Structure 1
Amino acid sequence: MKVLIVHAHPEPQSFTTALRDLAVETLQGQGHQVQVSDLYAMNWNPVASAADFSERQDPDYLVYALEQRLGAKNGGLAADIQSELDKLLWADTLILNFPLYWFSVPAILKGWIDRVLVSGVCYGGKRFYDQGGLAGKRVLVSLTLGGREHMFGEGAIHGPLEDMLRPLLRGTLAYVGMDVLPPFVAWHVPYISHAAREEFLVAYQQRLSGLERDQPLAFPRLQQFDERLYPLQRA
């Protein structure tokens, strides 16, 4: 495999960073190629703006997705975006590694998504879900959080974790065509013992060792809908 790990944590000594380092060690040990984008270490700019394009289709009014398409065609994307896009297109497996912030991804990772999942390359028109521009690639979300496992699920205080991750898993990763693997979750990380953290590391290493055999989650396929994207009637 060719693996891109996008890591979003500000503390080099964090457990989230330990998960990243373990992924690099484990995957390289299996003979896979690995690249890492450490967003905080890179001082990644998360703000999508007109400065992301060397020339504009419409210099008077910014429609970001349309300018992305032009920039992708003419080589006019900002250098930091193009570098990350090249890594993404090189990889057949993406790992997003981050702590859960306010039921979502850290702002710096959201900015990577906004700027690097370029319209016209990763999606556009009816190029979404199984027809998305990144079809054939696989993605694993690896996350840490402070809550206990019993606080998430049907009837639990926070509801299902899957509901919180829906904008990421479905609205972003599945939307651009990737096969989304079940997330790896390390619960209650800031408050658990060293031994408990070691157990999570062992579990993650086991998960990584079998990553190629993981079955992706189910999401819509365009063949289930007509030309206007109404669901097809089933007999």
Structure 2
Amino acid sequence: MNVLIVYAHPEPESLNGSLKNFSVKRLEKAGHVVQVSDLYAMKWKPTLDADDFPDSNPGARFDPALDSKRAFENGTQPGDIASEQEKLLWADAVILQFPLWWFSVPAILKGWVERVYAYGFGYGVGEHSDVRWGDRYGEGTMAGKRAMLVVTAGGWESHYGPRGVNGPIDDILFPIQHGILYYPGFSVLPPFVIYRAGKTDEARYAKICDALGRRLDDLWNTAPIPFRPQNAGAYAIPELTLRPDIAPGQSGFAAHVA
């Protein structure tokens, strides 16, 4: 299988850097083909702006969505964007690896998503009508592929528990797993989260590698998070709200998981 690791940490000798190297070796030893997009090493441009679309009409108002759509359709995207899109199409599985910074991904990774998920590629795909609202949330360009987060956090696991001060980790990661990965069609596996990352000694590192290795070995056998598909009947269209008989009395992120 083909695996793409999109990696976002500025220090190669960090825990993240070591775990990324471990993952590449483990996957390749199992016979998989691996590519790594090391965003900091690539000096990835994180801003989606008019500089990405030099073929736009001079003096015209910059429209991020429509300019992205035109460039994608006309094959005039910058080479770095097109290259990352090719990697995504090539991959059978994608791993996003990053430290949890301010309750989200590092800015460089967010910028990767904003630029690579072009209109017509990551969104704006499929029929929009009274019976369908595009190919997304379980459908789309990435349908049939798997994705998983590998995340390091500085806080204790209890800080991210059901009553932890930071909020439940599943809620914190929901916009990434449901919005960035499930939206364009990925089957999203439960995340691999390392807590108290800065308190990792050799013994703990060995345990982390053992657990991560088992998750990588089971990449194609692990059951995905059962997010509710948008166009399979659970949601009223075009309102895109859950039908009254689906998860009655429930609201919030959890209602969108079967």
The more displaced of 116-125 and 180-189 is: 116-125
Would you say 1:212 and 2:220 are equivalent positions? yes
- Which of 155, 159, 168 is 2:167 aligned to? 159
Q: CA deviation at 1:225?
A: 2.6
* Amino acid of the structure 2 residue aligned with 1:133: T
5 Å-filtered alignment, 1:50-65, equals: 50-56=50-56, 60-65=60-65
Q: Which residue of 2 aligns with 1:44?
A: 44
Unpaired stretches in structure 1, ≥5 consecutive residues: none
2:138 is paired with a residue of what secondary structure? helix
* Amino acid of the structure 1 residue aligned with 2:30: Q
Give distance in 1, aligned partners of 2:33 and 2:57: 37
When the two chains are superposed, the root-mean-square deviation of aligned CA atoms in Å is 1.7
**Number of residue equivalences:** 235
Q: 1:97-119, CA deviations, whole angstroms, 9 ceiling, x for partnerless residues? A: 11110111001101001111112
- Which of 186, 196, 199 is 2:194 aligned to? 186
Q: 1:146-176, CA deviations, whole angstroms, 9 ceiling, x for partnerless residues? A: 1111111111121201111111111111111
- Give the alignment's TM-score, normalised by structure 1: 0.94
* Amino acid of the structure 2 residue aligned with 1:153: G
Unpaired stretches in structure 2, ≥5 consecutive residues: 129-133, 247-258
Give distance in 2, aligned partners of 1:167 and 1:44: 22
Q: Which residue of 1 aligns with 2:83?
A: 83
5 Å-filtered alignment, 1:97-176, equals: 97-124=97-124, 125=128, 126-176=134-184
- Which of 235, 238, 247 is 1:225 aligned to? 235
2:69 is paired with a residue of what secondary structure? helix
Q: Which residue of 1 aligns with 2:210?
A: 202
Q: 1:59 to 1:137 in 2, by over 3 A?
A: farther
Q: 1:59 to 1:122 in 2, by over 3 A?
A: farther
Give distance in 2, aligned partners of 1:137 and 1:11: 29
Give distance in 2, aligned partners of 1:57 and 1:146: 47
The more displaced of 124-133 and 201-210 is: 124-133
- Give the alignment's TM-score, normalised by structure 2: 0.86
Q: 1:66 to 1:57 in 2, by over 3 A?
A: farther
Q: CA deviation at 1:230?
A: 4.4
* Amino acid of the structure 2 residue aligned with 1:45: K
Q: CA deviation at 1:54?
A: 3.7
* Amino acid of the structure 1 residue aligned with 2:204: A
2:119 is paired with a residue of what secondary structure? coil
The more displaced of 139-148 and 190-199 is: 190-199
Give distance in 2, aligned partners of 1:199 and 1:170: 29
Give distance in 2, aligned partners of 1:13 and 1:119: 36
* Amino acid of the structure 2 residue aligned with 1:49: D
1:176 is paired with a residue of what secondary structure? coil
2:220 is paired with a residue of what secondary structure? helix
